[in-house]
Structure 1
Amino acid sequence: MGKRQKLMKEYGIVLIFIVLVIVMTILSPNFAQPKNLINILKQTSINGILSLGMMFVIISGGFDLSVGSIVGVTGVVAAYLGMGEHPLIVGLLACIGLGALFGLTNGIGVSVGNLPPFIMTLGMMTGLRGLALVISGGQPVTGISKEYVNISSGFLFGVIPYLAVYFLIITVICAFILTKTVYGRRVYSCGGNLLAARVSGINVKAMQTSVYMIAGIMAGIAGFLLTARTTVGAPTAGDGYEMDAITACVIGGVSMNGGTGKWFGVVIGALIISVIANGLDILGVSSHYQKIIKGIIIIVAVLADVNGKTKKA
């Protein structure tokens, strides 16, 4: 493989994103308006945080369908704790703690119980969605404080949305962990060959459990921020978010077989999803068709991944 081919394979997703932005701008001049671009950043931030958590799970060879439901549960809890009676940090820590607990449950079920990730997280997805409805009484939780709302509605230096700042900070942390630490290398090792990782002395069960905890923590943070953005703790919030997170990872080059993927690809993948959704909304395309388009994107991305591996073999 030549140098140019390697660069295209590594950074082709960035070129695709740039072309997509140009096309959307041509089709609708309103797309490039500052107000709309800020809205895209806000949309990307929550899904992007969720996608970064999903990235760890998929690279390690796992799969998590429960993150959207974790967003729903933690969002409801955050709304109850964010009415002004408690410091905001209490709500954030509660969301992080619950996310970690749910992720730990997933991890134990997969690593110790030897349940297939799909089955374990599907069960959690269904159960937690029910838990969100029970906690909220089936109704949206309203009345959150102005201070809580400002967490997502404010701007740094009057220009950069706070949500984008949170996303940037979390991205830097995840990128460092994945690329500069022993833990990150072990995540890739587990996804590349689980047996080889075990033989080399890696505590595979602990690694599997930890990546699900990371995904749960990210979902908890996303739930906390989503409630601040929507000003309501809806038990149905986060519905389908797991698909957006998986799509961002797949588009960004994270292999569904595990062992491969870059953090910046996931970030660009999340941006692409937001740009497509936002652009199609501006163009008046029905949300039903948007789901069809998203499904096609997932299939094409996975096919490209599978064909790439076949050629290597």
Structure 2
Amino acid sequence: MNSTKVKKFVSQNSIWVVFLFMVILMAFLSPTFLTAKNIVSVLTTESITGILTVGVMWCILSKGIDLSPGALVALTGVVTASLAQKFEYGASRLFPNLPDIPVIVAILAGVAVGTLFGVLNGWLIAYTKIPAFIATLGTQLIARALALLYTNAYPIPELKPGLKNVAQRELFSINGASVTVVIVIFIVFAVISGFMLTQTRFGKSIYAIGGNDQAARVAGINVEKNLIKVYTWCAFCASVGGVLLAARSGAGNASVGVNYELDAIAAATVGGTSHSGGVCRISGVIAGILILGILKNGMMLLKISPYLQQVCKGAIIILAVVFDMRKNAKKA
């Protein structure tokens, strides 16, 4: 492999070079970082954010944004939890003749509620031409308010074991560290999203829309229809994340999910998804998720102030965007 090919390979995979550097650095700074328990903990913690990220990245790819996923996590979680409480604690108290609701029905109901917000987001952006930032900010506020109204700001505990197992079930262990199903679900979503990006007409259409929506129209792409699909997929990912968070914590809570969308946007941005539209690689996005997860975990191990952690995260996001802008300017 000659030097030109090496430079090209490093340039295309620079995000993974950064990832390896961070792993080596953290392993040097903290002896507990590379333990199986800590690695599995990072993967488990970042899995829900990762599922949100593989949804949000589609919005950014289409030259849009979605600020509602965090609120949809909360709304989906409380709807699912309210229908999946243990029978003696749930709706049977008010309606004694109501049959016990299966866990799968509770999950589908919660996911359906969240996904409908995605359809609404897509329709508003595609047909009313409201900027994506404003449209999704509005639906974020609506979804959060509905979650609080639905629960009166009280948590919903005493969930059925069947729902808890959706996220807490142990598949196997590595040196005493339990690998739960939530990690596998994240991997499945990442694979599906990557397949849609590279192997489907839908993925190629979104690349085209993000690059130049007018040129995409000329090429015969239905921009409005595809935008609705993008925001529906993003909301679906957030809804699944909400179900998993409720299952993992053992309760539905209307106050959870705050700033989750910002973490997802940050991970997608660090992973190379361009806010100018039309540029995204699923491998880079996964690296972005892991880099921010390692950063958060590493600073916790080093007992760095949580406020300083936010400063570091913000600086990384700014640098990632500046790098992306400079790269696009060079191409132009």
Q: Could you state the TM-score of these two structures normalised by the residue count of structure 2?
A: 0.91
Shift of 1:86: 2.5
Shift of 1:91: 2.3
Distance in 1 (alpha carbons) for counterparts of 2:247 and 2:256:
12
Contact 2:172-2:180 within 8 A present in 1 as well: no
- Corresponding residue for 2:269? 250
Residue deviations 1:30-74, cap 9 Å, x none?
122211111111111100000000011111111000111111100
Amino acid at match of 2:59: V
Distance in 1 (alpha carbons) for counterparts of 2:13 and 2:306:
30
Distance in 1 (alpha carbons) for counterparts of 2:106 and 2:197:
28
Structure 1 residue runs without a partner (length 5+): none
Residue deviations 1:238-283, cap 9 Å, x none?
1000000001100100001110010111111111111111111111
Distance in 1 (alpha carbons) for counterparts of 2:291 and 2:192:
22
Contact 1:99-1:218 within 8 A present in 2 as well: no
Contact 1:70-1:216 within 8 A present in 2 as well: yes
Distance in 2 (alpha carbons) for counterparts of 1:282 and 1:150:
29
CA RMSD of aligned residues (A): 1.3
Amino acid at match of 1:37: I
- Corresponding residue for 2:119? 104
- Corresponding residue for 1:9? 11
Contact 1:104-1:212 within 8 A present in 2 as well: yes
Distance in 2 (alpha carbons) for counterparts of 1:184 and 1:16:
27
Match of 1:68 among 70, 90, 114: 70
Match of 2:133 among 113, 118, 127: 118
Contact 2:75-2:114 within 8 A present in 1 as well: no
Q: Which stretch has the larger CA shift, 138-147 or 233-242? A: 138-147
Amino acid at match of 1:88: V
SS in 1 for 2:228: helix
Runs of 4+ aligned residues of structure 1 deviating over 6 Å after TM superposition are none
- Residue 304 of structure 1 pairs with residue 319 of structure 2: no
Match of 1:150 among 165, 182, 186: 165
Amino acid at match of 2:24: I
- Corresponding residue for 2:92? none
Residue deviations 1:3-31, cap 9 Å, x none?
33321222111121111111111111112
- Corresponding residue for 1:167? 186
- Corresponding residue for 2:279? 260
Residue deviations 1:140-168, cap 9 Å, x none?
11111222222222222345321111111
- Residue 184 of structure 1 pairs with residue 184 of structure 2: no
Q: Percent identity?
A: 39
Distance in 2 (alpha carbons) for counterparts of 1:178 and 1:10:
17
Alignment: residue pair count:
313
- Corresponding residue for 2:259? 240
Shift of 1:123: 0.9
- Corresponding residue for 1:30? 32
Contact 2:268-2:288 within 8 A present in 1 as well: yes
Distance in 2 (alpha carbons) for counterparts of 1:174 and 1:148:
25
SS in 2 for 1:156: strand
Residue deviations 1:201-221, cap 9 Å, x none?
110000111100000000000
- Residue 133 of structure 1 pairs with residue 148 of structure 2: yes
Larger gyration radius, structure 1 or structure 2: 2
Distance in 2 (alpha carbons) for counterparts of 1:154 and 1:10:
37
SS in 2 for 1:222: helix
- Corresponding residue for 2:21? 19
Q: What does 1:206-245 align with in structure 2 at a 5 Å threshold?
A: 206-245=225-264
Shift of 1:305: 0.3
Shift of 1:117: 0.5
Distance in 1 (alpha carbons) for counterparts of 2:253 and 2:134:
25
- Residue 200 of structure 1 pairs with residue 202 of structure 2: no
Q: Which stretch has the larger CA shift, 93-102 or 202-211? A: 93-102
- Corresponding residue for 1:94? 109
SS in 1 for 2:128: coil
Distance in 2 (alpha carbons) for counterparts of 1:121 and 1:270:
22
Contact 2:55-2:235 within 8 A present in 1 as well: yes
SS in 1 for 2:10: helix
SS in 2 for 1:264: helix
- Corresponding residue for 2:95? none
Contact 1:140-1:234 within 8 A present in 2 as well: yes
Distance in 1 (alpha carbons) for counterparts of 2:185 and 2:161:
19
Distance in 2 (alpha carbons) for counterparts of 1:169 and 1:87:
24
- Residue 284 of structure 1 pairs with residue 303 of structure 2: yes
